[in-house]
């Protein structure tokens, strides 16, 4: 785990520096007295996370979408992608669980790791959000705070005013004001501390309990049923589920608990959401899709990264999510287009053996496979096992095997969320 202490120090130094170089009109470098402790940052982060008062409409908190009772993912009443009575709020992506998100690491285009990739280039990994466009949780927190479709703060001053009016404002002032100054006099600093408090809070123990039944099984303190054990074997079998290659289930050689994601970016070709109009058939290249805005989600190639922009081989790739707590979810894949865990697993087995089950028909009667991708990106859809059919054309996994895999995935629910999973 990242040393939270060092991180706070680094961030404080960065804030002090940014003040020092801010120009002649600014006062000189501020002498910081006591630095805020991790405990203070965590407590304020937690209070802000649950505070709808930080949103422009006064109704939406981080916790409205990331419910602490369901592993900081959507609960049974939260549509995912998000939607409420306000059409301006309609989201385009499924709400992820924030548990274990802290381990994603920074985005890198080329991953070389002795243990994972044996020295070969494993391609892009890491970063926050489905397309990895934020390197740190600090940067990520600014997205919902200022996005009009989410918490809708018009600018830093607007957010700073909301923090100054919050029930915890006095604690915030006390924790973050430099000696002799009031932090609320500087909206930039307020927002920097807000973002840092979220980052530190998201590393609190409740974001990484590692106490699912599977964790207890790995520790020799629980057993798996025969179906769950069969599911685990299929999960790891490179000729059957092959889930292990992208969603690792084994401890690392240093003994670290498995995260059930390698944070890699893959195009699985998830179907287009049924409530959207079909993708424009004249779409030749990702560039042509720009005008269509949110109706086309191209993932990694459009994450704002130099070198990846508009390269069709990166379009439609999304970051592999953890499968921890996956049984709590009601919509699956980056666009939330699949609505049961069993279907999400069945998709892997039958996407290419029975495409009509997943994709709509074109006017000419043919199946429009990979219908959420521009044609130029279709050649880059992943086709390895478990997608690759058996030599005789049958799926890699039959119905009973899919059931076993689902039984295994249900062992990955953290202990505190198990009641929600049983609903």
Six-digit token string for 245: 């290659």
Sole residue written with tokens 């390269």: 311
- Measured from the CB atom, the residue of 19 and 355 that comes closer to ligand HEC is 355
Q: Report the alpha-carbon angle 319-81-41, nearest 5.
A: 70
Stretch of 4-12, 209-217, 263-271, 413-421 contacting ligand HEC, by CB under 6 A: 263-271
Q: Is 197 in the site for ligand HEC (CB under 6 A)?
A: no
Q: Which of 15, 66, 41 is nearest to 199 (CA)?
A: 41
Check: CB of residue 286 under 8 Å from CB of residue 377: yes
Q: Is 108 in the site for ligand HEC (CB under 6 A)?
A: no
Q: Is 260 in the site for ligand HEC (CB under 6 A)?
A: no
Query: How far is 196 from 176, CA to CA, in rounded Å?
Result: 11
The 334-373 contact track toward ligand HEC, x by CB under 6 A, reads: x---------xx--x-------------------------
Q: Determine phi and psi for 134, rounding to 5 degrees.
A: -110, 130
Q: Is 200 in the site for ligand HEC (CB under 6 A)?
A: no
| Total site size for ligand HEC, rule CB under 6 A | 50
From residue 277, alpha-carbon distances to 91, 127, 295, 302 in Å are 15, 30, 8, 21
CA atoms within a 13 Å half-sphere pointing along the CA-CB vector of 298: 28
Q: Is 15 in the site for ligand HEC (CB under 6 A)?
A: no
Stretch of 115-123, 164-172, 324-332, 412-420 contacting ligand HEC, by CB under 6 A: 324-332
- Measured from the CB atom, the residue of 27 and 304 that comes closer to ligand HEC is 304
Stretch of 30-38, 142-150, 155-163, 273-281 contacting ligand HEC, by CB under 6 A: 142-150
Buried b / exposed e across 296-314, counting CB within 10 Å, b at 16+? bbbbbbbbebeebbeebeb
Task: Write the CB contacts of 33 (distance below 8 Å, at least 6 apart in sequence).
Answer: 178, 179
Residues in the site for ligand HEC, rule: CB under 6 A?
60, 62, 64-66, 82, 91, 93-96, 98, 101, 104, 128-130, 137, 140-141, 144-145, 150-151, 198, 202, 241-243, 245-247, 266, 268, 270, 318, 320-321, 323, 326, 329, 332-334, 344-345, 348, 382, 386, 405
């Amino acid at each position: 785990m990242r040393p939270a202490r060092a991180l706070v120090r680094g961030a404080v130094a960065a804030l002090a520096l940014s003040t020092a170089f801010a120009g002649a009109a600014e006062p000189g470098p501020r002498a910081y007295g006591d630095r805020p402790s991790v405990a203070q940052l965590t407590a304020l982060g937690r209070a802000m996370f649950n505070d709808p008062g930080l949103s422009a409409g006064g109704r939406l908190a981080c916790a409205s979408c990331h419910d602490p009772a369901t592993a900081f993912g959507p609960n049974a009443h939260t549509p995912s992608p998000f939607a409420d009575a306000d059409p301006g709020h309609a989201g385009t992506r499924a709400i992820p669980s924030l548990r274990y998100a802290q381990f994603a690491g920074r985005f890198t285009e080329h991953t070389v790791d002795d243990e994972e990739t044996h020295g070969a280039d494993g391609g892009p990994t890491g970063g926050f959000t489905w397309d990895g466009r934020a390197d740190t949780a600090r940067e990520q927190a600014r997205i919902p705070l200022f996005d009009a479709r989410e918490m809708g703060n018009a600018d830093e001053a607007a957010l700073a005013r909301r923090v100054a009016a919050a029930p915890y404002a006095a604690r915030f002032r006390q924790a973050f004001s430099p000696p002799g100054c009031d932090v609320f006099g500087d909206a930039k600093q307020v927002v920097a501390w807000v973002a840092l408090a979220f980052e530190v809070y998201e590393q609190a123990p409740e974001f990484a309990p590692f106490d699912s039944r599977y964790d207890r099984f790995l520790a020799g303190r629980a057993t798996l049923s025969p179906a769950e054990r069969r599911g685990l074997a299929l999960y790891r079998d490179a000729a059957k589920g092959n889930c292990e290659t992208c969603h690792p289930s084994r401890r690392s050689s240093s003994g670290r608990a498995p995260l059930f994601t390698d944070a890699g970016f893959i195009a699985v070709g998830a179907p287009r959401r049924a409530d959207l109009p079909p993708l424009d058939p004249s779409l030749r290249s990702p560039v042509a899709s720009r005008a269509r805005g949110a109706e086309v989600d191209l993932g990694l190639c459009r994450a704002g990264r130099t070198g990846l922009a508009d390269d069709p081989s990166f379009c439609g790739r999304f970051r592999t999510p953890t499968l921890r707590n996956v049984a709590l979810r009601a919509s699956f894949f980056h666009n939330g287009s699949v609505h049961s865990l069993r279907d999400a697993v069945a998709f892997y087995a039958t996407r290419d053996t029975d495409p009509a089950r997943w994709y709509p028909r074109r006017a000419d009667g043919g199946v429009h496979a990979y219908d959420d991708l521009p044609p130029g990106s279709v050649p880059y859809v992943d086709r390895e096992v478990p997608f690759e059919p058996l030599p005789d054309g049958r799926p890699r996994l039959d119905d009973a095997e899919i059931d076993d895999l689902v039984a295994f995935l249900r062992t990955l629910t953290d202990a505190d969320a198990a009641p929600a999973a049983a609903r």
